[in-house]
């Protein structure tokens, strides 16, 4: 076995890869060899470290030096100074990782990581996801060996039940209960499926787990198969995740080569194998029955329930379906026990939850927090607050199926029941942050536009009802709202929630209902005052020049593309509202803050 004095860990997730981390890996390897250090220093391509805002990220161990936003021109300096001479290049360190002139912080001391608890993400940013030996070195496949040689299928299910693990993909159904239903179901064939069809805008939790720790999902699916009596599984992953798909393919091949998939695993009579099915990016295929239709080669449309998949699922056989993050917890629960997992979180929401933190936030990235952590802690302690000192306005959780949480609820506990109580939901884990410049009416329109576009069209409430709601919202943001529009939206939303065929249709009105609940005044301002309080909706904007502040420099007139600004040099200029196209060029150019937007 080769031993190295230093390891250079470089993020190979989608975010850092798009910023050129593959080139960094090549340059590090070249410069390390050039310096004669290739027998002493190893470069490791890992999954996502989480702090995507600071990418590409490079961490050098054993020092734990956390380099951020590294560029190709920085590589030679790090190799020659740090790896060759032992002098950390402090100016390239992540600012959050610097304690003082002589001390650097360890990762768990950095504010972004301090309040996190990495369970599902435990190996992301730690191991090379394309090398099964590294997964095995971190207790990989020990849990599978344990259940096959020491536990009965029912004992496995009992542990998952006792842990309190709930599905991380949407409504939070108890995982152990779902497995129990499938185990008890009568069938000559049973299936285990993984939902990796992550389709929420701004969500990348499942993608990051697959890119950084694919064997965790494979091992968990094998454990689930043993528990319910299945010998075949399918991972349904969207084709837009090429890195995740590639690493899954490599991991499945390695597991088969090691005898961890296939016949007589660990010398027992248990056999199980996995296949990948690529999704074409249809949002509705995140719904379990639509996903199963798609695997079968049919149109991705939901089926009426009952019967539920645990009794009649894939190919009309008993089937369990969990998402990537749910599976990522399973092996750790088996190894460390139900009590260990249940000790984290709240009474009804055990364990941790991964969120993709995006939008108007300083620390964009992937976070994993114990259930019960408050929204305020996520936004300010982990996320680093709102850029440019702007005020926090709302956070959207649960994607198009979720709701907007206002500033008055910043101290809400992030758990299943608390979010539902305030009109939002956990969903798969997207969290989009908004500031004072976001119009909540337009936010509702954005998410409903996405839902309308992604509707499979099978049931009229979703196909027609959401379209009617979108038409009303579009009129409102264009300044054509009418008295009674709010009531129409509420009536349509209520009917859609009560009659849509699947969970996606039933939750489609949530962004509208939550913004009506907490930001009704913005709807009323749009409709009755023809004004957008956030100054966002273009058709409702009005640019004016303050005569007292205008110096008559003429710059605004020169940049106006439609000649809407007139006046004489060194005298007050005016804007003709009938000509103004509200592009904002004049406001950007004015050096005296004389132009305002209302």
Q: Are 300 and 456 in contact (CB under 8 A)?
A: yes
365 vs 204: CA distance, rounded Å: 9
* Dihedral (CA of 414, 417, 423, 426) sign: positive
The gap between the terminal CA atoms of the chain, to the nearest Å, is 68
Q: What's the pLDDT score for residue 88?
A: 94
240 vs 247: CA distance, rounded Å: 14
Q: Let me know if 248 is exposed, middle or buried by CB neighbors in 10 A (0-12, 13-18, 19+).
A: buried
Q: What's the pLDDT score for residue 399?
A: 82
Tokens at 263, concatenated = 């016949």
Q: Are 179 and 228 in contact (CB under 8 A)?
A: yes
Number of Cβ within 10 Å of residue 391's Cβ equals: 10
Coil, helix or strand at residue 413: strand
Angle between helices 214-228 and 242-257 (to 10 degrees): 60
Q: What's the pLDDT score for residue 101?
A: 67
Q: Which residues pair with 235 in a beta bridge?
A: 194, 276
75 vs 167: CA distance, rounded Å: 42
Q: What's the pLDDT score for residue 426?
A: 86
| DSSP for residue 166 | B
Q: Which domains does the chain show, CATH number per domain?
A: 6-107 (3.40.30.10), 132-341 (3.40.50.11540), 352-435 (3.10.20.600), 440-528 (1.20.1440.230), 542-597 (3.30.70.20)
Q: Going residue by residue through the chain, which has 598 residues, state the pLDDT in tens, using 9 for 90 and above.
A: 578 999 999 999 999 999 999 999 999 999 999 999 999 999 999 999 999 999 999 999 999 999 999 999 999 999 999 999 999 999 999 988 887 767 788 888 899 999 999 999 999 999 999 999 999 999 999 999 999 999 999 999 999 999 999 999 877 899 999 999 999 999 999 999 999 998 888 889 999 999 999 999 999 999 999 999 999 999 999 999 999 999 999 999 999 999 999 999 999 999 999 999 999 888 899 899 999 999 999 999 999 989 999 999 999 999 999 999 999 999 999 999 999 999 999 999 999 999 999 999 999 999 999 999 999 999 999 999 999 999 999 999 988 888 999 999 999 999 999 999 998 888 888 899 999 999 999 999 999 999 999 899 899 999 999 999 999 999 999 999 999 999 999 999 999 999 999 988 899 999 999 999 999 999 999 999 999 999 899 889 889 999 999 999 999 999 999 999 999 999 999 999 889 998 889 999 999 999 988 7
CA distances to 154, 453, 563 from 271, rounded to whole Å, are 18, 42, 75
**Angle at the Cα of 199 from the Cα atoms of 193 and 204, rounded to 5 degrees:** 90
CA distances to 331, 392, 427 from 202, rounded to whole Å, are 28, 18, 12
> DSSP 3-state helix, strand, coil percentages of the chain (rounded to 5)?
45, 15, 40
Among the listed residues 370, 274, 330, 338, the one whose alpha carbon sits nearest the alpha carbon of residue 139? 330
CA distances to 58, 118, 134, 437 from 61, rounded to whole Å, are 10, 19, 16, 42
């Amino acid at each position: 076995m080769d031993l190295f004095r230093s390891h250079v860990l470089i993020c190979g997730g989608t975010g850092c890869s798009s910023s050129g981390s593959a080139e960094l890996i090549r340059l590090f390897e070249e410069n390390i060899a050039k310096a004669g250090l290739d027998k002493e220093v190893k470069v490791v391509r890992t999954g996502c470290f989480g702090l995507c805002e600071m990418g590409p990220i490079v961490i050098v161990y054993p020092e734990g030096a956390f380099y951020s936003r590294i560029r190709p021109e920085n590589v030679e300096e790090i190799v020659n100074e740090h790896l060759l001479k032992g002098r950390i290049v402090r100016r390239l360190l992540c600012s959050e990782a610097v304690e003082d002139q002589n001390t650097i912080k360890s990762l768990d001391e950095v504010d972004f990581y301090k309040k996190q608890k990495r369970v599902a993400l435990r190996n992301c940013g730690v191991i090379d996801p394309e090398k099964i030996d590294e997964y095995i070195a971190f207790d990989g496949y020990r849990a599978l060996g344990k259940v096959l040689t020491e536990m009965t299928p029912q004992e496995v299910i009992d542990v998952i039940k006792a842990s309190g693990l709930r599905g991380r993909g949407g409504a939070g159904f108890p995982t152990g209960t779902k497995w129990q239903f499938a185990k008890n179901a009568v069938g000559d064939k049973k299936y285990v499926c993984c939902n990796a069809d992550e389709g929420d805008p701004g969500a990348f939790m499942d993608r990051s787990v697959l890119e950084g720790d694919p064997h965790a999902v494979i091992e968990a699916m094998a454990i689930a198969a043993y528990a319910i009596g299945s010998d075949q599984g399918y991972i349904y992953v969207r084709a837009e995740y090429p890195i995740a798909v590639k690493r899954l393919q490599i991991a499945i091949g390695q597991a088969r080569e090691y005898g961890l998939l296939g016949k007589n695993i660990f010398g027992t009579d248990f056999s199980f194998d996995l296949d990948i099915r690529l999704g074409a990016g249809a949002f509705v295929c995140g719904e379990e029955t639509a996903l199963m239709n798609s695997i079968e080669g049919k149109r991705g449309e939901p089926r009426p329930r009952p019967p539920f998949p645990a009794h009649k699922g894939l190919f009309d056989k008993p089937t369990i379906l969990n998402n990537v993050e749910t599976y990522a917890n399973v092996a750790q629960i088996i190894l460390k026990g139900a009590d260990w997992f249940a000790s984290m979180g709240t009474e009804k929401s055990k364990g941790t939850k991964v969120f993709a933190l995006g939008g108007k936030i300083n620390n964009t990235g992937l976070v994993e927090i114990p259930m019960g952590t408050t929204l305020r802690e996520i936004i300010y302690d982990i996320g680093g607050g709102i850029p440019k000192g702007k005020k926090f306005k709302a956070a959207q959780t649960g994607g198009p199926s979720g709701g907007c949480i206002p500033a008055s609820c910043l101290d809400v506990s992030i758990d299943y029941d608390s979010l539902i109580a305030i009109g939002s939901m956990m969903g798969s884990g997207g969290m989009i942050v908004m500031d004072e410049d976001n119009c909540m009416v337009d936010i509702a329109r954005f998410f409903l536009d996405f839902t309308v576009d992604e509707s499979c069209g099978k049931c009229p409430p979703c196909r027609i009802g959401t379209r009617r709601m979108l038409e009303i919202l579009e009129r409102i943001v264009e300044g054509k709202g009418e008295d009674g529009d709010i009531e129409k939206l509420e009536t349509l939303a209520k009917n859609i929630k009560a009659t849509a065929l699947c969970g996606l249709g039933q939750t489609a009105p949530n962004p509208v209902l939550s913004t009506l609940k907490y930001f009704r005044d913005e709807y009323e301002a749009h409709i009755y005052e023809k004004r957008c309080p956030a100054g966002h909706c273009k058709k409702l904007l009005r640019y004016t020049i303050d005569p007292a502040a205008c110096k008559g420099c003429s710059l605004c007139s020169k940049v106006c593309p439609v000649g809407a600004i007139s006046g004489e040099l060194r005298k007050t200029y005016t804007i003709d509202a009938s000509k103004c196209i509200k592009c904002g060029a004049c406001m950007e150019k004015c050096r005296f803050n004389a132009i305002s937007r209302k």
